[in-house]
Amino acid sequence: MKPQVITFADFQPGTALGVHAESYTPAIAAAWKSIFGQQSEDGAGGPAEAASVAMALTMRAYLTVASPRPPGNVQGRQRFQLHQLPRLGETVSSVVHCIGKQVKRERLYVDLQVQGVGDNGRSLFTGVLSVIWAA
Amino acid sequence: MDHHDLPDTLVPARMTVSAAAIAAYADLTQDFNPIHVDATFAATTAMGGVIAHGTMSIGLIWQSLQRSAGAEAFVDADLDIRFVKPVRLAETLVASGARRAHEPGVYDVWVRAVADDSDRLVGSLTLATSTSA
């Protein structure tokens, strides 16, 4: 049976939507370098790359856990607290929570928090995506 | 990190948004929303064409921060941004930031399109700082 599309009504602030684990792999690092540059002065292999990868892993967790989504969602805001940088090869486990929702000027706003933890439980990041939910 | 060691302006970081970059970012994030990766579909939408992922531009802010303040600045960094306008294919973007005069370690940050100097995203970046004795 096809899973039901997640609608605005389905979100319950304070509840977890799920957990997703991904590794910071050489393929992910290579994808970053192909966009932002191969040299150390571009951030390759350094903190700029790691911070972007942390944000990418946030998006991967959100897209995997909050699925299926209605077409037409728009992200309006991103808050991102970087506690520590992930390391190449590290596995990051991300928990996604709904932390709030509201209707404002006829738009449906949902706040989703993504907390990433790395090896040995070290806290890596806390992100909040504010999304205008389409349905 | 001592806020006295931080620059007033973050070193700019630039990129020109190519289809290859958008495709690579889709792979990086596993976000294959057709608005980003399907030119034929995107042309039928209100956007009128492909737009880049919003968070791709944030990568430029991280580059700007590394060039300005090094690895130490990333620990406990706190970013809060709003997406103001979509980023179009072939746009050249520049990211930078300006330190707030009375808030140590806090920068107003932005990513702008070079062609019309208009914002694509704006917000704040707060760095964990201390005041030296």
Q: Which pLDDT tens digit goes with each residue over B82-129? A: 999 999 999 999 999 999 999 989 999 999 999 999 999 999 999 998
Specify whether the CB–CB gap between B14 and B60 falls below 8 A: yes
CA pair distance B20, B58, nearest whole angstrom: 18
Q: Which two tokens stand for residue B20?
A: 């290859």
Q: What is the largest CA-CA distance in chain B?
A: 60
Burial class (CB in 10 A: 0-12, 13-18, 19+), B17: buried
The single-letter DSSP state of residue B2 is B
- Tell me the C-alpha to C-alpha distance, in Å, between residue A67 and each of A61, B53, B55: 10, 18, 19
pLDDT in tens, A5-49: 999 999 999 999 999 999 999 999 999 999 999 999 999 999 999
pLDDT at A105: 94
DSSP structure string for A83-103: SS---TT-EEEEEEEEEEEEE
> Which pLDDT score, from 0 to 100, does residue B133 have?
46
- Check residue B131 and give its pLDDT: 58
Residues of B with CB below 8 A from A53's CB? 28
Q: What is the mean pLDDT of residues A79-96?
A: 98
- Tens of pLDDT, residues B19-77: 999 999 999 999 999 999 999 999 998 889 999 999 999 999 999 999 999 999 999 99
DSSP secondary structure code for residue B130 in this structure: B
**Res A122: pLDDT:** 98
b/e map B68-103, b = 16+ CB within 10 Å: bbeeebbeebbbbbebbebbbbebebbbbbebeeee
Nearest Cβ partner for B30 among A51, A63, A84: A63
Residues 50-109 of B with CB under 8 A from A: 53-56, 58-60, 62-63, 65-67, 70-71, 73-83
So what's the pLDDT on residue B129? 80
pTM: 0.95
Contact call for A84 and B83, based on CB within 8 A: no
The C-alpha atoms of residue B35 and residue B53 are separated, in whole angstroms, by 9
What architecture is domain A12-133? Roll (3.10)
B28 to chain A: which residues are within 8 Å by CB?
28, 31-32, 35, 52-53, 56
Q: What's the distance, CA B123 to chain centroid?
A: 10
